[in-house]
Amino acid sequence: MLCKVVLPSDTYTRKAQKILAANGYPSEIIRSTSLREGCGFSLRVAGNCEQIHALLIREGIPVQNVRIESGGV
């Protein structure tokens, strides 16, 4: 499964990417063009979206949204 994780800033996006990598989840930073997603930084992550969301919350990362996406990392 491929997930899009929307985060509030570039700083949190980079922190989240490091946490995910340390836990075996490859990801890529993507920039959003959608105004409803705030600053426009997200991660595209391969893995179980619920587990990814729970991991980031547990690590203190303020996740704005997580949704299933099509495509590949």
Dump pLDDT digits (tens) for 17-66. Answer: 999 999 999 999 998 766 565 557 899 999 999 999 999 999 999 999 99
User: Quick one: pLDDT at residue 1?
Assistant: 87
> Selecting from 3.10.450, 1.25.60, 3.30.70, 3.90.550, what CATH number does the domain 2-69 have?
3.30.70
Q: Is 65 left (phi over 0), alpha (psi -120 to 50) or beta?
A: beta
Torsion over CA of 69, 16, 56 and 45, rounded to 10 degrees?
20
Helix (H, G, I), strand (E, B) or coil at 35: helix
Q: What pTM was computed for the model?
A: 0.84
Higher pLDDT, 35 or 12: 12
- Given a cut of 90, whether residue 15 has pLDDT beyond it is yes
E strand intervals along 1-73? 2-7, 27-31, 41-46, 65-69
